[in-house]
Amino acid sequence: MADLLDKNGLIIVNPDPELEQAFRWFVDIIGSPAWGRFRADIVLFTESLETYTSNIDLYSKPHTPPNQFAWYLYLCEAFLYHPIDYDFKQGCRVIPVFKSIGKDIATAREIVNVEDKIRACAATAPNSIDGVLFEMLVAIAYGKEGWKTTLLPESSNATRSPDIKAEKEDTLFVECKKKATLSDYSKEEREHWLLLVEPLADYLHNKKASLCLDVVFHKEVKAFPTDYFVKRVIPLLPFVAIEGVLLDDDEITLAVKKPTIDRARRHFEHNSVRMGSPLLFDLLFGHDEPERGIHICGEFKPDSRSAKLVSDVRWASAIVWSCDAPQALEKKTQSIKRQVAEAIKQIPEGKPGSLHIGFELYDGESIGKDRMEKVVSDLLFFDNLGKKIQFIYVNVFEFFVPPDQNWLTDETSFIFRNKEAKPEFMLDVKRLVAYDEEIPTKLLSDNVRDLFEDD
């Protein structure tokens, strides 16, 4: 779906029955009138941001509409029926989740109170959709193993309640926690980056400079003044004649190369490409590091049949960036002790319960490994607060958009077991989200790792 329009004007759509089942089910639940209103708001929002002229600035300001529930459904609709409006970057973490629900739609429909939960989310808490979807994926996993599952209503602060009640021979209470996609530190870092890069991007744009700058910060991004590039980098650019490293010290490493304009033009002879798509980035810059930020500007010719498509390029520049400062990596590697403690408190006194924690990695592979080391250390000797905790499951998700694919997911699961846990409560939860290859669960011992060790 990367090349959305061929030269005959045909929209290329990849039908996906599983995704379509989930999308139509959600729309049926909230009702067509409500979806019509939500959809209209999303269209207005996207049109207010998209001004397609010959000069465009891609991905400098990532955006998400204020109604996340509506945005997710719109991404599903666009993927299925009008892919020219589909947002690759954000859709890659939404489509696989809805496809997973559609794949097990019969089991999903059997979850007690699931439709009430979806309606409440849409009406009163649309930005909690990630948590609701995660609860549904967990409930589906239990349902596939013969459990009757019920999504419990939200409780007040005075009365704690878990998210799911699972019933088979016995009753198990389940609490779910979905970690935020970006840490507060990462959000602040990106906001400062936008201020930092603005004068550099303006220079490249005004000079119509076809360059690709690769920046690695060795100190925290927030430590750099907003005129840093003005003083240290811009004065060097007029003298760039060959590709190579311009700066390499304890502050930054800066390398420069030329974009592959000719390669992109050869592709444009037979295809138009969606603005902002990974394929466009790959054609111009060979960008294959999705965990790194990229800021692009250039002069692109819109396709005559749609301003959302690129049919030629005159010049293009990119600034690819990341930060390897140890302080930054540490601050992005959040502890989950507080979330686990809160989850344990939701389990009723004297009743068996299990916890499911979902991690979505958003800051690159190294951050993921560091973060998981901290997760493991947090859980190995955790205080169960006197509750009858059986198992703690941690599912780690990574979502990608390769240039030649619509989306790609990677998922790893960790299972921690209380020594007192009953085997019948263990869930075989190798994966929750759809992807192409079977990836085995990573277990921390021959079976599962014991937690709540004796003092």
108: left (phi over 0), alpha (psi -120 to 50) or beta: alpha
153 is in which domain, residue-wise?
A: 125-182+334-451
| Nearest one of 54, 56, 73 to 65, comparing CA atoms | 73
Distance between CA atoms of residues 257 and 242, nearest Å: 8
Domain C-terminal end among 80, 98, 118: 118
Tell me: do 402 and 363 sit in the same domain.
Answer: yes
Amino acid at position 276, single letter: G
Tell me: do 17 and 108 sit in the same domain.
Answer: yes
Q: Which residue has the tokens 């239990």?
A: 142
Beta-strand relationship, 244-248 and 271-274: unpaired
Does any domain span residue 5?
no
Does any domain span residue 215?
yes
SS3 418: strand
CATH number of the domain within which 149 lies:
3.40.1350
State which residues of the chain have pLDDT below 70: 1-14, 49-63, 155-159, 180-181, 287-288, 290, 333-338, 362-383, 385, 434-455
Task: Please state whether the predicted TM-score (pTM) of the whole model is above 0.85.
Answer: no
Residue 63 has a pLDDT of 65
Distance between CA atoms of residues 17 and 382, nearest Å: 43
Distance between CA atoms of residues 137 and 125, nearest Å: 19
Tell me: do 164 and 138 sit in the same domain.
Answer: yes
Domain C-terminal end among 271, 306, 327: 327
| Nearest one of 353, 326, 275, 261 to 85, comparing CA atoms | 275
SS3 84: helix
Residue 437 has a pLDDT of 36
Q: Using one digit for the tens of pLDDT, what is the confidence trace for 49-65?
A: 654 444 444 433 446 78
Specify the number of domains making up the chain. Answer: 3
